[in-house]
Amino acid sequence: MKKKPYIGITGFMSPEEVSDTLKGINFQKANRLLMVGVLASSKSLKGITNKWPGRYPSISEMENIFLDNENCLNLVHFNTKEPENLLSQLLEVTDYSGENFNGFQLNIAWPSVRVLEAYKKFYEKKCIVLQIGGDAFNEVSHSPQKLADKVHREYADLIDYVLLDPSDGTGKPFDPIIAKNYLEALGAKRNNFGLGVAGGLSPTTLNLVEPLVKDFPELCIDAEGRLRTIEDELDVQIAIDYVQKSLKLFSV
């Protein structure tokens, strides 16, 4: 059974940011979740400061950020420079992330299927979002059919969502026409995973999503770079505006 679609915000650094964002949103009539994205990496696990210190909390703080709220999908967005250690890293992050942690978005180009199978043996019910970033698109020669075939052949039974994110969190807008080609290819076969897009989203760029809503009413979306201040802190008011406008867009 497919998971509920979500509206995502990535880069939360404190529980207050999450609670303040939730206060500004009415989820009573929305058949959607707020995806609370917390960034972590192999550097985080070693206590090394990331090049984006305003987006990566210390590993010991992650469990405090995730709230016990039925409207939240609490995910760690994980990337690594040591893919050979991915399983032990996922298990370690899981231990740090607390009881409200729901799973991972893997910001890794085509993570090892064997690792995902092994992780699922430990945590069968944890959610997995397969992020398709720049390197992953390159590896399938930017072919929607090759990408869809690879996802269905290797990952379909292991993941809950596929997120198309050519921007890799940089805020570069995605192309809705190109995105539609990938979404159609992924959706051509019966599947139990949800579909999502990201790249340059904010309260003022939801026009990128609008052409996709009719054909993909359960589409998930995620935003990061354009919800932040000049100091690279999450702007909660912009985040609330983005979620409110997104909910309205998908309710039409």
In a domain, 51, yes or no: yes
Q: Which residue has the tokens 């994110």?
A: 165
């899981």: which residue's tokens? Answer: 94
Calculate the alpha carbon distances from 224 to 35, 74, 114, 177 in Å.
12, 15, 30, 21
Q: What integer pLDDT is reported at residue 155 of this predicted model?
A: 97
DSSP letter for 234, please: B
What's the total number of domains in the chain? 1
Residue 172, pLDDT score: 83
Calculate what percentage of the chain has a pLDDT beyond 70. Answer: 98
* pLDDT digit string, tens, across residues 97-128: 999 999 999 999 999 999 999 999 999 999 99
Q: Is residue 81 part of a domain?
A: yes
- Please give the angle made by the CA atoms of 70, 80 and 131, to the nearest 5 degrees: 50
Consecutive H or E run containing 76: strand 72-79
pLDDT of 169: 67
pLDDT in tens, 174-223: 999 999 999 999 999 878 899 999 999 999 999 999 999 999 999 999 99
How many alpha carbons lie under 13 Å from residue 149 in its C-beta half-sphere? 8
**What per-residue confidence (pLDDT) applies to 191?**
83
> Is residue 34 included in any domain, yes or no?
yes
What's the confidence (pLDDT) of residue 112? 98
Enclosing domain of residue 38: 6-251
Report yes or no on 1 lying in a domain.
no
CB 74 within 8 A of CB 102: yes
Would 240 be classed as within a structural domain? yes
Radius of gyration of the chain (CA): 17
- C-beta of residue 237 within 8 angstroms of C-beta of residue 244: no
The CATH number covering residue 61 comes to 3.20.20.70
Q: What is the DSSP letter of 163?
A: E
Query: Three-class SS of residue 126?
Result: coil
| Residues in contact with 156: Cβ distance below 8 Å, sequence separation at least 6, in sequence order | 191, 192, 193
Confidence of residue 250 (pLDDT cuts 50, 70, 90): very high
- The per-residue pLDDT for 30 is 78
What is the token pair recorded at 82?
């040591």
Chain segment 22-75, per-residue pLDDT in tens = 999 988 777 899 999 999 999 999 999 888 999 999 999 999 999 999 999 999
* Widest pairwise Cα distance in the chain: 46
Residue 2: its pLDDT value, please?
A: 67
Residue-level pLDDT at 31:
84
> pLDDT per residue over 69-96, tens digit each?
999 999 999 999 999 999 999 999 999 9
**pLDDT score at 1:** 57
The verdict on residue 201 lying in a domain is: yes
Q: Mean pLDDT lowest for which of 1-5, 11-15, 19-23? A: 1-5
- Asked whether residue 115 is assigned to any structural domain, the reply reads yes
**Residue 141 resides in a domain:** yes
